[in-house]
Structure 1
Amino acid sequence: MRALVFVFILLLSFTGSAQTGREERIDSLENALKLVGQDTTRVNILSELARSYGGIDSLKAFEKGFAAIALAKRIKYLRGMADANINVAGCYLDYFDAESAKEYFTIGNNFADKLIAKDSSASNMKIWLRGKYNIGVAYGYEGNVEKEIELIAETIPYAQKMGDKMFVANANTSLAIKYGTIMLYKRAYEMFLISQKQYEEVGTPEDMLYHSLAFTSALSSMDSLKRMKSVLDIAKVNLDLIPNSFYKGSYYAELGLYYGKSGEYKKAIDALNKSYEFYEENTSSFYLKLLYQRYASTYNKMGDFKKAKEYTLKYINFSDNKHSFSDKTGSYFSLAKYEAALNNYQSAYNYLKDYVIAVDSIRVGELGNDMQLLEVQYKTATKEKEILALKNEKSEAALALQVKKSQTYLLGATASILALLLFLGFYAYNDKLRRARKKEREQEKEVALLKQKQENEVFSAMIEGQEKERKRLAIDLHDGLGGRLSGISMNLSKLDKDEPKEYPKTQLKKVMKDLDDSLTELRSIARNMMPETLVKFGLKAALKDYCSSMTGNDTKVTLQFYGTEKGIGLNEQVTMYRVIQELINNAIKHAHASDVLVQYMRDGNKVDITVEDNGVGFNKENIVTKDGGMGLSNLRTRVAYLKGDLEFHSEENEGTTVNVQINVDAA
C-alpha cells in the first residue's frame, strides 16, 4: 500500500498544475486555435491543449491529442508527430493504462529521436526528454521500477546541460519517490532534500506542494514524525496560496496519516473527512481506496472495531479489484481481529480460514512456480554448456590435426631432398612421432573422460541437492507450518464451541501469537527456497537482507560489497548466494563465531568472495583428508558449477577464512 501512495503522488506530477493558471491558458489556446490558419501552428496548439486538458477533462485531452496526430501525419510534420504521440501517451497514463501509454510513447520517442538528430534545439530536446522520462513512468506502473529509475536517471544529465532546472527538480523528486517504493528510504530522503533546494530556487507554490506531499509519504514510511510535520507545514503554506488546488484532497489525507501515527485520532478522522469530501464524487478514484484503509487503521487504534470493519470491507471490495497478496491476507487477518473483538467468533473463524487459504494457495503456488522455472533454467544452461564444450573440443582437435598435417608435409619434402643422406635419421624420427601421436591421443581421451566424469558428478550432486531441498521443504510445510495452522484451527473451533460469556482475550492472544509465528516460519521457508529480494533487486540486496537477518544479540554479520552483479546470470547469482549462505551458517553453527565478515569484490570478470570469522577454527589437514561432511561437499559442488576455486585458511582457536575465486565468463 505504501507503493500505491507513491504511485499516486507521482501521477500528480503530470496532472496537478494550478487549476486557475491552467484554465486561463486553456482559454487562451482555444481562442488562438480559432484564429490560426497555418497547419504546423495548429498542430502545436492542439498538442499543447492535449497536455493542458490532462487531469481536468480526459475526453478533450484525447480529442485534441488525436487531432494533432492526424494533422501532423497528413502534413508530415516531424516535430508535431513526436509531441502529439507523447501527449496522447500521457493521457493514457492518467487512466493507468500503461500498455497503451508505452505504445504511444514508443511511437513518439522514435519520432523524437529522428527530430533531435536533425535539430537538437532546446525546444526539441524538451520533447525528447519528456518522452524518455514518461515512458520510464509507464514501466513503473507495470512494476518495473528498476527500468523506470534507469530511464529517469538517463534524462537528468541532458536537462542539466540544457539548464532546465525545473525538469531536473521534477526528475530528482520522481527518483526519490521510486526509491521510496522499493523501501530504499535513506536514498529517497537524500534525493528529496536535493530536489527541495531546487524547487525553492525555481518552483512555484504548486511545485513546492507536490514535492512536500511526496516527501511526506516517504517520511511516514520512515516513521520520522517530527520531520513529517515540518514538511506538512510547508505544504500548508503553499496550499493556502492556491485556490481550489488539485492537491487539497491528498494534503488532508497525509495530514490524517500524520495525526493517526501521532495518536491524535480525532484530528486524524477530521482530516480524513476533509480529504474524503474532495474525492467522494469520483467513486472510481483509487485514492478513496487508500482513505478507506487509513480510516480502518485509525478506528482500530481508537477501539471502534465496528467502524474499522466497515472501512476494511470497503477497501477489500473496492471497484478496481486490484489487491496484492499482502493486501488480501492483511485484510482477512484484520477482519478476523475485528470480528473477534466484536464477539462474532464464527465470522472471525471464517475470515481466518480465508486468510489461511490465501496464504497457502497463493504463496505456495508462487514457490512451486519459482522452483520449476529455476529447474528449467538450470537444465537449459547445463545443456548449452555441454554443447559449447563439445564444439570447442572439435575445433581444437581440427586445428591440432591441421598443424600436424603441415608438419608431416614439411618433413616429407625435406626427406625427399635428403633421402639418401638422412634415411636412417628420418625413419627414427618418424617412428618417434607416431608414438608421440598415439600417446597424445590417449591423453586427450583421458582428459575428455575426466571432464565428462566431473560434469556428471556436478550434475548428480546438484540434482541430489534439489531433491533434498524439496524433501526438506515438504517436511517444513507439513510438520512445522501445517502443525501450527492445525493447532490454530482447533483452538478457534474450541473457542467457538465453548461460547465464552466474557471476551476471551487470553485465548485470542495465544491464537494471534501462533499466527504470527506461522507467518514468520512461512517467510523463513520462502527465503530459504528462493530469496525474493535476489530475484527482484539482485545479489547485493539479497546478501544485505540475509546478513541483517543473521545478525543477533550473540552474532554480528557484516557485508562489504564492492563492484556490481550486473551481467551475471540469475542462476550464477543464486549459486553465489547459496555459497555465501552456507559459509555464514557454518561460521555461526559449527565455529560458534560472534563476528563474521563477508566481502564481495568484483574486478572486471573476476569475482572474489571472502568469508572470515573469529570462531574456534579447525585443523586444515582434517578437512583436506576428509570430506568434512555434506555441507562442505555441497560447497565444493556449487563452486565447481561456477568454475571457481575454493580455499580454506584456518588454525584451531584462531578463526577461519574462506576464499572463493570465480571467473564470470567461465560461470
Structure 2
Amino acid sequence: MKPILHFSILLLFLSFFYIGSGQILDVNELKQKLEDAKADTIRIKLMCNLARANEGVDSLSVFQYGYEALRLSKKLRYSYGTALSYKTIADGYLSYFDIENSKNYYFNAQEEVEHLLKKDSTKVYLQLWAKINFNLGVLYGYQGDNEQEIAYVEKTIPIARQIKDTLFLAIANTNLGIKYMNFAQFNKAYTYFEKSGPQYEALNNPDDIIFDRLSFSLCLYEMDSLSTMKTTLDKVKFYLDKVPKSIYNYKYYSHLGLYLSGVKRYEEAIEMYDKSYELLQNNKIRSEYASLFIKYAETYEQLGNLKMSKKYMMDFLQESLKSGNDVSRAKAYYRLARYESKIKNYKKAHHYLNQYIHLLDSLDIQETSNRIQQLEFQYQSEKKEKEILALTNEKNIVAFNLEKKRSEGYLMIIAIITLVFVLLVGYQIYRDKSRESRLADRKHAEEMVALKHEQQAKIFSAMIEGQERERKRLAIDLHDGLGGRLSAISLKLSKLDKDNLKTYPKQELSNVQNDIRESLSELRGIARNLMPETLIKYGLEAALRDYCTNMNSNESQVTLQFYGDDKKIAIHNQVTMYRIVQELINNAIKHAKASEVLVQYIHENEKIDIIVEDNGVGFNASSIKDKKGMGLDNLKTRVDYLEGFFEIQSKIDEGTTVTVQINA
C-alpha cells in the first residue's frame, strides 16, 4: 500500500519579499536608503520594500510603511505607486491570515493596475498585475476555493510568458503541478512539471531545481513511474552535491525511501528514512516528523513488522495531537484499530475504532469527505520549503534594466526604420492600387457609355422597325379597307353613269352615301391610330378614354381608371404611353379573347404605373419568350424608351395582368 502523500504549494507572495539569490532585504539598509531618497516615487517603492521586509517580524511597521506609501501615492496621483501600495498592504494582511482585508486590498490593487494597463502595457505593469493575480489565487486557496485558485494562477501564465519572466513561469507551473497532485490529478500535474523543469534549469539556481524535481518525483511515484522517479532523484542528488548544506537533503532521503519502498527494497527504504529523520533532528524541523512517521509505518507494515508499524503510527498520533490536526488523528486511530485487530487484541481495536468514529462525528463527516485532502494538505504540507521565488540581486537588476533600455533603444531604431519602410511600401502599393482603380473606373465608364450607346441603338433600331411595321399595316389598311370601299363606290357610280335610268336612282345613291360615310369613319380610325387628335388637344387621359370607349363592343368591355394627371409629361412620352396601352388592349381582345379589360393609370410620387388586366384565356408565363405575334417586342421597345420596366403575370384560363412602371 502506498503512503498517502500531500504536497506543499509555493506561496508566490512570500517570494517577493526577497531580492538577489535568496538574500532577505536588509531593514537597516532600506531605512538608510529611505532617508537619503529625494524623489517621492523612490520613497514609495522603498517604503513598500520595508513593509515586506518587516513581515513576520514587526507587524506594526508592515502596515505603517504600507499605508504611508499609499497616502503619498494618492497625494501624488502616482497610479503605479498606489497599485504597489495596495498590493503591499494586501500581502501584509495575507501573511497574518486576515483573508477578507487581504482580498479587498488585492482587488483595489488589481483595479488600479488594470486601469494603468489600458494606457500602457509595459513590463513593470504586467509584472505587477501577474503578482497580484497570483496572490489572489493563493488567497482563494486558503479559503478552499480551489477552482478560483487554479483559475487565477493559470491566467497569469500567458502574461509571464509575454514578458519573458522565466522565474515566474517556473513557479506558476510548479504550483499548479503541486495543486493538481493534491487533487490526485497526476497526469495533469505531470504536464506542468514537464514545463517547470527546463525553466528552472535555464535559471541555473540549484535550490530551485532541487525543490521542483523533488515535487515532481512524488508525482512520478503516484503514477507508478518508478524508473523515471529514480532518474529524477539522481538529478536531485547531482544538484545537492553542489549545495551540501541544502535544507532539502532530508527531503531527498525521504523521497528516495519512497522509491525503494515502491520497488520492494523495504530494508533500504528504512535506512533512507533514518537518514532523513537524523537531518530533521539536527535541523530541528519537527513539523516534518508526522509525514516521515507515516512512511515508516507503511514500510514496516509491508515488511510484516506490525510492532514497528504500530510504534510509528503511535508517534504519528502524538504529532497529530500536538498539532491539533483531527484528520490525521482520525487516520491514526483507524490504522491502530486495524493493527490491534490483526493481532486479535479486539478490546484495544474497539477502543481505537470508537475514538475514530467519535472524531469523525465531531468533524462533520460530509464536509470532511469532500475536503479531506485539503485539510491533510494544510497539516502535512512541507511548511518549511524554501520560498523559491527570488528576484536577482540589485546589481543584476541594474544590469538588467540597463540592458533592457539599450535593447529598447535598438528596438526603437529598428521599429522606426521598419515603419518608414512599411510606409514607403504602403504608399507605393496605394499609388499602384489608385492607378489601377482609376484605370478600372475609366474602363468601366467607357464600357457603360458603349453599352448605353448600344442599348440606344437597339431601341432606335427597334423603333424604326416598329415604324416600318406600322407603315406596312397602314398600307394594308388603306389598300384592303379604305381602298376597297372607294373602289366599290367608284364602280357603283360608273354603273349609274352607263345605265339609261328612266327614274331617279334614289336607293343606289343612298347606298353610295352609306359607303362614303363608312369610308370616312375608317379613315378617321386610321388617322386616330397614326396620331390621336384627342391626345394632342386634350391630353393622355382624354385620348385613353376615347380609345377605350371606341374599343367597347358586344363582345368586349374596356374600362379605364385614371388616377393623377398628365400635365407635366412631355407629349412624345404621352404618345408612347398611349401606344403601350393601345398595344395591350389589342393583345387582350385579339389574342386573349377577353370579354373584360381593366386599364389603370396611376401617377404618384414621381412614378407612373400602367396596369392592364383581362379575363382572357391566359398563357404559361414561363414560356413568354416563345410567344410571337403578340406585340411583346414593340412593348419592350417602348418601355425601354421610357426607361421603365414591365412584368407579365398570367395563368391558363385565369387571364393576364401586365404591369408597366415608368419614372415620371
Q: TM-score, normalised by structure 1?
A: 0.47
> Which protein has the larger Cα radius of gyration, Structure 1 or Structure 2?
2
Instruction: Compare relative contact order (CA 8 Å, sep 6+) and give the higher one, 1 or 2.
Output: 2
